[in-house]
Amino acid sequence: MDERLELALARIRAGDGPGAEAVLADVASAPTAPDDVRVVHLRAVAAHLRRDEEAAERLMASALAATTDPTLVASLHNDLGNMRLEAGHPGAAVASYEASLAVEPEDAPTWANLATARRHAGDPVGAGRAGLHVLELEPGAALGRAAVGAALLHLTGQGRSAEALDLVRRWAELDPAHPGARHRLAALGGLPAPERAPDDYVETLFDASAEDFDDHLAGLGYRAPTLVADRVGARVGEATGELDVADLGCGTGLVGDLVRPWARSLVGCDLSVGMLRQARLRGCYDALHRAELSAFLRARHAAYDLVVCADTLCYLGDLEAVTRAVAGALRPGGTLVATVERLDDPSRPWRLTPTGRYAHGTEHLRAVSALAGLSDVTTTPVHLRLEAGEPVEGLLWSARRPTAAARPQGADSRPSEGEDGRVGRD
């Protein structure tokens, strides 16, 4: 029977509920099968896979009634929670995970599952506390960090900054070496705001989300790539495939795919290995580099006719250094097109927001463009995407490096040096 159960389990792992049930139907003829918890458990999961939730619930109840083994009881409750969560019943999933933890209170993965269920059930504070408990059980655990980070995103999106600050303070105490905890604490006013997000924070943030990134952004009505491509068409003209193009913070290649028709060569750079893997699968780039943004640009003097950058500069505060680097990497007559999140506060050039991203003012973009010697500067208010159901306001920024003869009088003639900028995502 064990061999048949392994076959059923393999089919379940492949998502083949009917196939698993067919195997289990043969097993059921064995004299002890009707009372075997393993058989009933797998039948429940198979029923769930074919979306018969009533049968799945009934079979899981039978499996739980058939055993008193604590480890098995905890596992069955956890699996029932997983099925309920996948079926769209997060409140019921919370009850299952809590029942599992009542038996095995130190199982960190179940605490992480509970965090997910509480968040989907509309309890981000409870979700964050469950994530913190994961970090108490397993310091530095990726599951705990992800759970706390997701809870913070929901709280800040709902404007619940005080609750978010309490949560991130505890996170920073439990996980003091994690750059994300300290950056989020600064974003909520618990520490002085740094001039840019740490590289390792950006890298880990996007490595964790790379595989689901495109689907997630599609659900948010993400418009930045299309906005950038439309501005490229307006500034550069017909797509004749004759330009050398750099995509900064290329992410999965959403922008690269759209600007490819203008490119003779198209290169992308990003800090996240996970994002670069997805970009490679997209197949639109001639070369991809894991690189910090400004260092990448400074190594490529006058190499590009076009530089694009969508939703990457929101991980930098002061944009002077990176704009100088862009200007140095552009050929005379070359064009920059980028998006930033918009700051409507004329008293400040930029600000670190509770989301952990930076917003920039129109005058700051114009000032750094002038300091870098760029001209024909345009900043257009745009909606970038939705967050917590509300539009994220941005600026579509474009500028040009003048030809030598047209260089603005008084423009800074120094080479593009200074502090590194940052690679984020597209």
For 166, the token pair is 């309490």
- DSSP secondary structure string, 299-365? TSTT-EEEEEESS-GGGBS--HHHHHHHHHHEEEEEEEEEEEEE---TT-SEEE-TTS-EEE-HHHH
* Position with higher pLDDT, 22 vs 289: 289
**pLDDT computed for residue 26 by the predictor:** 66
| Contact residues for 100 (Cβ-Cβ < 8 A; gap 6+) | 73, 74, 75, 77, 78, 81, 107, 110
Q: What is the DSSP letter of 196?
A: B
**Amino acid letter for position 141:** A
**pLDDT computed for residue 179 by the predictor:** 85
| Average pLDDT value over all residues in the chain | 89
CATH of domain 213-406: 3.40.50.150
**pLDDT computed for residue 342 by the predictor:** 98
User: Which whole-number Å values give the CA distances from 188 to 33, 149, 180, 390, in the listed order?
Assistant: 57, 13, 12, 19
Closest CA to 384 of 215, 216, 221: 221
Cα(422)–Cα(398) distance, rounded to whole angstroms?
Answer: 19
Cα(184)–Cα(355) distance, rounded to whole angstroms?
Answer: 8
In words, the CATH class of domain 2-193 is mainly alpha
Q: What is the DSSP letter of 193?
A: P
**Amino acid letter for position 380:** T
**pLDDT computed for residue 1 by the predictor:** 55
**pLDDT computed for residue 299 by the predictor:** 95
* C-alpha neighbours within 13 Å on the C-beta side of residue 320: 11
Phi/psi for 415 (5° steps) reads -65, 160
How much is the pTM? 0.77
Q: Are the C-beta atoms of residues 354 and 348 closer than 8 Å to each other?
A: no
| Contact residues for 82 (Cβ-Cβ < 8 A; gap 6+) | 93, 113
* Residue 183: pLDDT over 70: yes
* The most confident of 201-210, 356-365, 411-420, by mean pLDDT: 356-365
| Contact residues for 332 (Cβ-Cβ < 8 A; gap 6+) | 302, 401, 402, 403, 404
Phi/psi for 248 (5° steps) reads -90, 130
**pLDDT computed for residue 411 by the predictor:** 47
Closest CA to 288 of 304, 272, 264: 272
Q: What is the pLDDT of residues 51-97, one digit of tens each?
A: 999 999 999 999 999 999 999 999 999 999 999 999 999 999 999 99
* Residue 15: pLDDT over 90: no
For 152, the token pair is 């913070």
| Contact residues for 124 (Cβ-Cβ < 8 A; gap 6+) | 118, 151, 154, 155, 158, 160, 163
* 247 DSSP β-pair partners: 268, 308
Q: What is the pLDDT of residues 124-153, one digit of tens each?
A: 999 999 999 999 999 999 899 989 988 998
Q: Are the C-beta atoms of residues 334 and 306 closer than 8 Å to each other?
A: yes
**pLDDT range class, residue 409, cuts 50, 70, 90:** very low
Residue boundaries of the structural domains of the chain: 2-193, 213-406
Which range, of 140-149, 263-272, 327-336, 377-386, averages the lowest pLDDT?
140-149
Cα(291)–Cα(238) distance, rounded to whole angstroms?
Answer: 30
**pLDDT computed for residue 424 by the predictor:** 38
Residue 386: enclosing H or E segment and its boundaries?
A: strand 375-387
Q: Are the C-beta atoms of residues 332 and 426 closer than 8 Å to each other?
A: no
Which range, of 11-15, 20-24, 165-169, averages the lowest pLDDT?
20-24
